[in-house]
Amino acid sequence: MIGEVAELLGITPKAIRHYEQLWLLKKPERTESGCRLYATDDLLRSVLEALLGEVEGQIEHLQRRARLKQMIAEEDPSEAGEEPYMLALTQRHLGEMLSTSDPQVLALENRFLVTLGAFQ
């Protein structure tokens, strides 16, 4: 029964149906009355793999969120009359690559970054 299986796995029946729709879980055989009959091996392999994928996705999301928060938390040097924040950030991360670029390209990038910094 789907409710019992969901309880054993610590998920909802809706999640099990969702995994079936995504083909992460094999469609189970059914009784004459329509109740699902799950094989233990299929459940454990498929559901655990799906849960692992969801957890890994959440971890990646949280890591991206932490990186964005870190960037936001850094001081904005443009407030102190220095170069725009986004330009300073780009220079810090690209370093020497910027100094070997064409001056005209750098000027265009600088204008772009100043505009981008204004939207920040």
Name every residue whose Cβ is closer than 8 Å to that of residue 30 and which is 6 or more positions away in sequence. Answer: 36, 37
Q: What residues make up the domain containing 37? A: 1-73
Q: What is the pTM of this model?
A: 0.37
Q: Measured between alpha carbons, how far is 68 from 62 in angstroms, rounded to an integer?
A: 10
What is the pLDDT, as a whole number, of residue 97?
64
Portion of the chain with pLDDT greater than 70, in percent: 70
> What is the per-residue pLDDT for 98?
59
Shared-domain flag, residues 69 and 38? yes
31, 78: one domain = no
Q: What is the pLDDT of residues 12-48, one digit of tens each?
A: 889 888 888 888 777 888 889 988 887 777 667 776 7
* Per-residue CA distances from 54 to 29, 38, 62, 119 (Å): 26, 22, 12, 34
Phi then psi for residue 93, to 5 deg, are -85, -30
Higher pLDDT, 11 or 119: 11
Total domains present in the chain:
2
pLDDT value, residue 59: 92
